[in-house]
Amino acid sequence: MKLKFLLFVFLAGAQLQAQEYFPKNDGVKTTKTGTTVFKNARIHVNPTTIIDNGMFAIKDGKISAVGKNISVPANSQTIDLKGKEVYPSFIDLYSEFGVEKPKAAGNGNGQPQYDASREGYYWNDHIRPDNDPLSAFSFDKDKAGKLHKAGFGVVNTHLADGIIRGNGMLIALNPDGSDGDRILKQRSAQYLSFDKSATSRQSYPTSKMGAMALIRQAYLDAEWYAKGKAENKDLALEALNRNKNLLQIFATDNLLDELRADKIGDEFGIQYTILGSGFEYENLDEIKESDATYIVPLEFPDAYDVEDPFMASKVSLHDMKRWNQAPANLKMLAENNVPFTLTTEGIDAEKDFRKNLLKAVEYGLSQEDALAALTTVPAGLLGEENNLGTIKEGAWANFIITSGDFFDKETTLYENWVQGKRSVLENMNVTNIKGDYDLAVDGNSYEVKITGEPAKPKAEVKMGETKIGSKLSFVDNWMNLLLSSPDTTKTEFIRLVANVPSETDKISGKAILANGNETSFTATKKDTEATSEEKKDEAKETPEVKPVSFPNNAYGFTEKPKQEDILFTNATVWTNEEEGILENTDVLVKNGKISRIGQNLNAGGAKVVDATGKHLTSGIIDEHTHIAASAINEAGHNSSAEVSMEDVVDPTDINIYRNLAGGVTTAQLLHGSANPIGGRSAILRLKWGESAEDIIFEDSPKFIKFALGENVKQSNWGSRSRFPQSRMGVEQVFTDYFTRAREYEQNKKNDKDYRKDLEMETIVEILNMDRYVSAHSYVQSEINMLMKVAENFDFNINTFTHILEGYKLADKMKEHGAGGSTFSDWWAYKYEVNDAIPFNAPIMHSQGITVAINSDDAEMSRRLNQEAAKSVKYGGVSEEDAWKFVTLNPAKLLHIDDKVGSIKTGKDADLVLWSDHPLSVYAKPEKTLIQGTVYFDIERDEELRERISEERNELITQMLKAKNNGVKTQPVTKKEEQHIHCDFLEEIH
Amino acid sequence: MRITYIFIFVFICSLGTGLAQQTPAPKQNNTISIVGATAHIGNGQVIENSILTFEEGKITAIGASGDVDPSGEIINAEGKHLYPGFIAANATLGLVEISAVRATDDEDEIGTMLPHIRSLIAYNAESKLIESMRPNGVLMGQIVPRGGRISGTSSIMQFDAWNWEDAVVKEDDALHINWPGSFSRGRWWAGEDPGIKPNEEYQQHLRGLTEFFNSSRAYLGGDRKIKNLPYLAMESVFDGDKKVFVHVDGEREIQDVIQFKKDQNLDELVIVGGYEAHKISDQLKENNISVLVTRAHSTPDNEDDDYDLPYKLAKLLHNEGVLVGLQSSGSMERMNTRNLPFYAGTTVAYGMDKEEALSLITSNVAKILGIDEFAGSLEEGKDATLFISEGDALDMRGNILDKAFIQGRELSLKSHQTELYERYKEKYESQSE
């Protein structure tokens, strides 16, 4: 069959039809004038309209008529499609068809490349809106063949390279024409992604937030360029402006990125169509809110091979659940009215597309929605609703012919027509020889039972009760049946051959006996209707889909916890206010706020929690964390003020839950320390189960990370080419950027057509004290330097973080007005912390500096109470003050102490109930609340553990069953948990 | 290259001009009695209002006031707490000074089977890190090399010494094996998924280890005319003089270690790490295998694990009768080793009894290391390696040392860090005058 198909393609190629006005030198010109009429078909005009027993006609590659009864022109051929169905062929919006990916740039000299390689284009090589796939396009017959088999007729292809990737091209998979026919639209869409171009080694951006900032800047620059303000030619920006009105398709590969892409779109009034991950169901609310259409890859995770229990123990519940849930993704999207289309991206279109589509239908996706996703939805997005994805007059003659309902597993796809050109997938004129026959040969009678698909029938032969060995083939309606001798001691065969051009009750032909003699045979069909009932109606179990939890990981909540009114009675209350530590005190939480503090308070309707013998404190605030992030460092430039950690928050990080279990309620997610001017911070409330947007502290003050010392001069990284390489250079970086920012501000005031620069905008905010600085710093010289530079520019440094030599210049810090957020006792890990001492916090505190103790580490952050207690040991700080180091003081440093950081009437009910004195090594949190919602509860944790163990067990059983049933499995893998500190450079997902 | 040299030069100069290390204390020459303290013996016992006497570096008497008479110099420790010195098992103190400065790093030798590599001789008795252990009560440690499949031979040192010869309390105490993992990490720098996947070479690595043990045995049984240093270093392992410490975490791997112990006829075997050891604690007990558990202050290995698994791992094993100790290897391990008492304290919050938690860093560790004859508890005949704390030494707020002794010698509790503290405190005090 395959061979024949290839042959067909070959012949078609040889007879390539030339365009009408092209000269012809290999013969005489013949102009095709005819119409082809199809009759007796069940026509799926569109997903909701079906014409039974209908007709349609095609002419010049388009549909010329369709209906119950159409007039048949005289010069037409007719094809009878009795018993067959016709669907519009499918459209793949996200394709790389026929466009080869460019080769990767070499390794260069081993040093990072900071400048662009291209001249006459944008300053960043990864912005390539000028990419046009046309020059790289070559029709890929093999791939087209595979797509035909999957039912596709049109693909929107592009050059998948770069962050802004240039225009796409709409291609009809015409097997028989030239590219002149196939190119339906040369500029059909513009593609974007977060991935850099392979062709360039230019460093920036090294991170996702860098890529996001770069896209924003490119949009702004394009707008500015359009005003004719640039002195240079920029072909990339010109292309970007040219592509503005095209369909914008954003390629992502995970759920968080899908939402990130949409966020950028919202900022610029662009609604992207988003290539998704197939896991959209994990956050339907936000997917819905995005208003985007999703291009969903029809790819489901394979089951894990969990036979070995040790291996099985390494697969996370999350990965197992995804295997169980992902096939229901499309159903859930449809139920929530999220528009989507489907792509073969990432899968073998021929082998897996239809199989997976049927699986999605089995999991509840309606056939109408499935068809729409493959036809009318993509056609509509492309503005081609009248030309593609439907069988109606004037549309392209792109359709498939099937043996029956496309969604029936047994159905065969016979032909795929594109632009009126036929691609034969299976011979549709195969005679159906299924049935039970009485066979008479050479005086013997046999019973023959023929089953299976018409094109691939199977035979079972018996003589009386004895089974006879047999082999049946049926090619081009010629039947060959080989029978072995009933005498099993002999290896002798009888060969039967017959031509069966049409369905018949009597097959007769020639038999060649074992001895070589020829005779004739007849097989007479028995009149047994019932025997055709081969397929047992496998009692179809609707697959059991595990409920989605928030987040969909272990310890996620099946139902998001709600705000509660709670009365804590008889606690030892650490107010962090003038009242100090109150014994035997009640605290009433109402509407997310601390409503009353006192004795014998009336619960009203509030839930009462007996806190006798326990301690109630405000939640711990970590001034310096890197949990809950998908990226940490944008290391491509020495200033990255344009990037924001708010762009890369990962609310599904298990460390959020673990931090809650350590009493942490708020944390500042800082950029890493790769650059003197780092990125903007995200202040987070650790609301486990909520979305990235919703865990960002509401109206939080703006912050940015600065960094000094070994990391910014890259002492420990082997790179030698980036300025600065010394502390002397670090000062100049700051002075330079601050000077330019002042000039920028001036220019902005004077020129209404100024070039908006996101980096400079941020630095101006810093200079004007609209954005606070948290500066990663170790040794006294650099700390002193930064304060002097800031003073020269009339602002101050809000917080020095790490600040391990703060004790050496606490007086100067005090004078400057800086706070210090430090480690309790870290040192000796690099040269610049040689003089770090655990007495640092106590000395700074003694000099009147607002001191916090931070973690910079997912492990330490979950026991910051212990770290605070070390200030009692080293340096004799009072317990009350030590406690403020991890609560009220970081709240002050973050300028959120009006809301959190102490137990005071009217403040947010961010509370921790401790089993013991909170500074004691023996204390553990029992409940952690944020704004009156209990996000960690030690008793609920027990229940979650049980549920995890049950769910794991159930899913493992399901996977074992699946493997037993022959389902493909994948070897166990486990996502590596990475502990991130400031120095972390690699991107994580 | 030149830059590197300049850097090293500058670095060495700065070390030279830094503050001097604390001078080791002279030998004990008078009898001392500590009177009135709550003595935490280290074996689970507590004696209120105790008297402890030591002479020539050894404890000569310990008991409740009334049962024992004080003699010699009296140190009044009423209201205070007395502890045996904490022992840091599986430490790298003295082998690396500053992690990021390669020139100061001596913990990891190249090669695979390195039983002949000895930590002892690289041990820098004057490391600033070591003196910073003492104010927290960490007075001894097992110093372990880190590289290779067999990483080498450790020795046990006390933390107040002029040089490594002075410091050693047990030379070449154990052989250390880094057990291969049945999972391996993807090499992200080679474009692989950085996740974990089954290690196809696991069996091959195990065979390599077995082959090395077998070859060593065969060699030692021969005429030894040719000197093979690695094989010779294995002799004391087979004699039973050198214990075998296997650094391993997974359940499956631990099962293989148990089989290895049987196959190789090893009397004393210790598991270091043992993240999943609790899943087969009965087998560990049956085979007389003790465990130095994964650092209590670490995050769980798997997303699905109990958040408090590292906190309660010691307790889970202890409950099943396995001999357990704590250790501090992991990220930033050297400077963190001084937090050993707080690891013990944390296990209490998650179920351990306080005095039993203390034994996790004293008597249990001494037993595991094979030095319990003279260390690990406040018992007659043992070394007077002990300290007086103002309060509960497992709690950050109580761990404030008054006095500390190693083999009866009263050591300085000052350090580079306390000296900087004093210096800057004085600076600010003089400013405010």
DSSP, residue by residue, A891-948? HHHTT-TTTSSS--TTSB--EEEESS-TTSTT--EEEEEETTEEEEEHHHHHHHHHHH
Q: A259: closest CA among A239, A282, A236?
A: A282
Query: In the structure, what pLDDT confidence band is assigned to residue A543 with cuts at 50, 70 and 90?
Result: confident
Using a CB-CB cut-off of 8 Å, the residues of chain A touching B394 are 921
Using a CB-CB cut-off of 8 Å, the residues of chain A touching B361 are none
Cβ proximity of A576 and A883 under 8 Å: yes
Mean local confidence (pLDDT), A58-70: 95
Q: So what's the pLDDT on residue B7?
A: 44
**Which structure tokens are listed for B263?**
């196959």
Q: Given CB atoms, is B298 within the 8 Å cutoff of chain A?
A: yes
Using the 8-state DSSP alphabet, how is residue A384 labeled?
-
Q: So what's the pLDDT on residue A527?
A: 74
pLDDT in tens, A236-258: 999 999 999 999 999 999 999 99
Q: A796: closest CA among A776, A779, A777, A771?
A: A771
For residue A264, the SS3 value is: helix
- Residue linked to tokens 């995804």: A322
Closest partner residue to B331 (CB to CB) among A872, A971, A979 is A979
Which residues are CB-contacts of B59 (< 8 A; sequence separation ≥ 6)? B52, B53, B378, B379, B380, B381, B382, B383, B384, B386
Q: So what's the pLDDT on residue B13?
A: 39
- Residue linked to tokens 């388009």: A62
Tell me how long chain B is.
433
Q: So what's the pLDDT on residue A2?
A: 46
**Which structure tokens are listed for B40?**
């935490």
Mean local confidence (pLDDT), A395-422: 95
Angle A758-767/A727-750 helices, nearest 10 degrees?
100
Window 125-144 of B: residues touching A by CB (8 A cutoff) are 128-129
Phi, psi of A528 (to 5 degrees): -125, 95
Q: How far apart are the C-alpha atoms of A648 and A366, rounded to whole Å? A: 35
Q: What is the mean pLDDT of chain B?
A: 93
Q: So what's the pLDDT on residue A920?
A: 98
Q: Given CB atoms, is A835 within the 8 Å cutoff of chain B?
A: yes
Query: In the structure, what pLDDT confidence band is assigned to residue B167 with cuts at 50, 70 and 90?
Result: very high
Q: Given CB atoms, is A920 within the 8 Å cutoff of chain B?
A: yes
Q: So what's the pLDDT on residue B8?
A: 44
Cβ proximity of A127 and A214 under 8 Å: yes
Q: Given CB atoms, is A972 within the 8 Å cutoff of chain B?
A: yes
Closest partner residue to B302 (CB to CB) among A316, A661, A986 is A316
Residue A984 has pLDDT above 80, yes or no: no
Task: Find, in chain B, the residue whose alpha carbon is nearest to that of A951.
Answer: B304
Query: In the structure, what pLDDT confidence band is assigned to residue A978 with cuts at 50, 70 and 90?
Result: low
Residues A856-889 as b or e (16 or more Cβ within 10 Å = b): bbbbbbbbbbbbbbbbbbbbebebebbbbbbbbb
Cβ proximity of A883 and A868 under 8 Å: yes
Window 313-342 of A: residues touching B by CB (8 A cutoff) are 313-314, 316-318
Closest partner residue to A971 (CB to CB) among B197, B342, B421 is B197
Closest partner residue to B196 (CB to CB) among A837, A941, A973 is A973
Which residues are CB-contacts of A422 (< 8 A; sequence separation ≥ 6)? A175, A176, A415, A416
Task: Find, in chain A, the residue whose alpha carbon is nearest to that of B353.
Answer: A922
Preferred mutation among A552, A721, A921 to probe B, highest tally of B CBs within 10 A: A921
Q: How far apart are the C-alpha atoms of B291 and A758, rounded to whole Å? A: 55
Task: Find, in chain A, the residue whose alpha carbon is nearest to that of B431.
Answer: A811
What string of DSSP letters covers B43-110?
A: SS-EEEEEEEEEETTEEEEEEEBTTB---SEEEE-TT-EEEEPEEEEEE-TTTBS-TT-GGGB-S--S
Q: Given CB atoms, is A198 within the 8 Å cutoff of chain B?
A: no
Q: So what's the pLDDT on residue A468?
A: 85
Cβ proximity of B310 and B294 under 8 Å: yes
The C-alpha of A436 sits at a distance from chain B's nearest C-alpha, in angstroms, of 51
Q: How far apart are the C-alpha atoms of A147 and B185, rounded to whole Å? A: 36
**Which structure tokens are listed for A182?**
């196939």
Among residues of chain B, what percentage have pLDDT more than 70? 94
* Residue A702, CB-side half-sphere exposure with 13 Å CA sphere: 17
| B168 against A460, higher pLDDT | B168
pLDDT in tens, A846-874: 999 999 999 999 999 999 999 999 999 99
pLDDT in tens, A187-217: 999 999 999 999 999 999 999 999 999 999 9
Q: How far apart are the C-alpha atoms of B314 and B292, rounded to whole Å? A: 8
* Domains located in chain A, CATH noted: 435-528 (2.40.128), 620-719+771-931 (3.20.20.140)
Task: Find, in chain B, the residue whose alpha carbon is nearest to that of A811.
Answer: B428
Among residues of chain A, what percentage have pLDDT more than 70? 95
Closest partner residue to A971 (CB to CB) among B185, B198, B339 is B198
Residue A151 has pLDDT above 50, yes or no: yes
CA dihedral for A21, A27, A29, A31, sign (positive or negative): negative
Task: Find, in chain A, the residue whose alpha carbon is nearest to that of B357.
Answer: A922
The letter for the amino acid at A14 is A
Preferred mutation among A873, A877, A915 to probe B, highest tally of B CBs within 10 A: A873
The C-alpha of A277 sits at a distance from chain B's nearest C-alpha, in angstroms, of 17
Closest partner residue to A872 (CB to CB) among B299, B397, B421 is B397
Using a CB-CB cut-off of 8 Å, the residues of chain A touching B11 are 831
Pairwise CB contact (< 8 Å): A835 & B420: yes
Pairwise CB contact (< 8 Å): A921 & B431: no
pTM of the model: 0.92
Cβ pairs A/B, distance under 8 A:
163
pLDDT in tens, A552-598: 999 999 999 999 999 999 999 999 999 999 999 999 999 999 999 99
Residue A338 has pLDDT above 60, yes or no: yes
The C-alpha of B86 sits at a distance from chain A's nearest C-alpha, in angstroms, of 17
Cβ proximity of A844 and A836 under 8 Å: no
Q: How far apart are the C-alpha atoms of A248 and A158, rounded to whole Å? A: 12
Residue A987 has pLDDT above 60, yes or no: no
Q: Given CB atoms, is A461 within the 8 Å cutoff of chain B?
A: no
Q: Given CB atoms, is B12 within the 8 Å cutoff of chain A?
A: no
Distance of CA A305 to CAs A302, A479, A736, B186, Å? 9, 42, 57, 19
CA torsion angle for A45, A50, A56, A60 (degrees, to 10)? 10
Closest partner residue to B100 (CB to CB) among A826, A830, A847 is A830
Pairwise CB contact (< 8 Å): B197 & A979: no
Task: Find, in chain B, the residue whose alpha carbon is nearest to that of A872.
Answer: B397
Using a CB-CB cut-off of 8 Å, the residues of chain A touching B198 are 311, 971-972
Query: In the structure, what pLDDT confidence band is assigned to residue A989 with cuts at 50, 70 and 90?
Result: very low
Element at A238 (helix H, strand E): helix A235-242
Closest partner residue to B417 (CB to CB) among A715, A837, A971 is A837
pLDDT in tens, A100-141: 989 888 877 778 899 999 999 999 999 999 999 999 999 999
Q: What is the mean pLDDT of chain A?
A: 92
Mean local confidence (pLDDT), B137-147: 97
Closest partner residue to A922 (CB to CB) among B183, B306, B348 is B348
Element at A58 (helix H, strand E): strand A49-59
Q: So what's the pLDDT on residue A529?
A: 54
Window 701-720 of A: residues touching B by CB (8 A cutoff) are 710, 715-716
The C-alpha of A964 sits at a distance from chain B's nearest C-alpha, in angstroms, of 21
Task: Find, in chain B, the residue whose alpha carbon is nearest to that of A923.
Answer: B349
Residue A894 has pLDDT above 60, yes or no: yes
Among residues of chain B, what percentage have pLDDT more than 90? 90
Q: So what's the pLDDT on residue B314?
A: 98
Element at A470 (helix H, strand E): strand A470-475
Task: Find, in chain A, the residue whose alpha carbon is nearest to that of B1.
Answer: A718
Q: Given CB atoms, is B100 within the 8 Å cutoff of chain A?
A: yes
Pairwise CB contact (< 8 Å): A654 & B421: no
Q: How far apart are the C-alpha atoms of A813 and A191, rounded to whole Å? A: 50
Starting at the earlier edge strand, list the strands of the sheet with B324-326: B86-91, B138-143, B150-158, B168-178, B243-248, B269-273, B289-293, B324-326
Task: Find, in chain A, the residue whose alpha carbon is nearest to that of B419.
Answer: A837
Closest partner residue to B98 (CB to CB) among A834, A843, A858 is A834
Cβ proximity of A423 and A431 under 8 Å: no
Q: Given CB atoms, is B345 within the 8 Å cutoff of chain A?
A: yes
Query: In the structure, what pLDDT confidence band is assigned to residue A533 with cuts at 50, 70 and 90?
Result: very low
Q: So what's the pLDDT on residue B191?
A: 67
Q: So what's the pLDDT on residue A465?
A: 85
H helical segments located in B225-379 = 229-232, 235-239, 251-263, 281-286, 309-319, 333-336, 340-349, 354-359, 363-369
Pairwise CB contact (< 8 Å): B196 & A311: no
- The CATH code of the domain at B21-84+376-433 is 2.30.40.10
Query: In the structure, what pLDDT confidence band is assigned to residue B226 with cuts at 50, 70 and 90?
Result: very high
Closest partner residue to A847 (CB to CB) among B196, B349, B428 is B428
Cβ proximity of A730 and A778 under 8 Å: no
The letter for the amino acid at A538 is E
ω before A457 within 30° of 0 (cis)? Answer: no
Using a CB-CB cut-off of 8 Å, the residues of chain B touching A986 are 188
| A972 against A401, higher pLDDT | A401
Asked casually if ipTM beats, i.e. exceeds, 0.90, the reply is yes
Query: In the structure, what pLDDT confidence band is assigned to residue A681 with cuts at 50, 70 and 90?
Result: very high
pLDDT in tens, A689-736: 999 999 999 999 999 999 999 999 988 777 788 999 999 999 999 999
Cβ proximity of A499 and A509 under 8 Å: yes
**Which structure tokens are listed for B431?**
């400013």
> Percentages helix, strand, coil for chain A, rounded to the nearest 5?
25, 25, 45
| A478 against B412, higher pLDDT | B412
pLDDT in tens, A697-708: 999 999 999 999
The C-alpha of A974 sits at a distance from chain B's nearest C-alpha, in angstroms, of 5
CATH superfamily of B86-373: Metal-dependent hydrolases (3.20.20.140)
Mean local confidence (pLDDT), A375-402: 97
Q: What are the residue boundaries of the structural domains of chain B, listed by start? A: 21-84+376-433, 86-373
Q: Given CB atoms, is B188 within the 8 Å cutoff of chain A?
A: yes
pLDDT in tens, B267-324: 999 999 999 999 999 999 999 999 999 999 999 999 999 999 999 999 999 999 999 9
Q: So what's the pLDDT on residue B183?
A: 86
Pairwise CB contact (< 8 Å): B195 & A826: no
Residue B136 has pLDDT above 50, yes or no: yes
Pairwise CB contact (< 8 Å): B334 & A828: yes
**Which structure tokens are listed for A294?**
């999703």
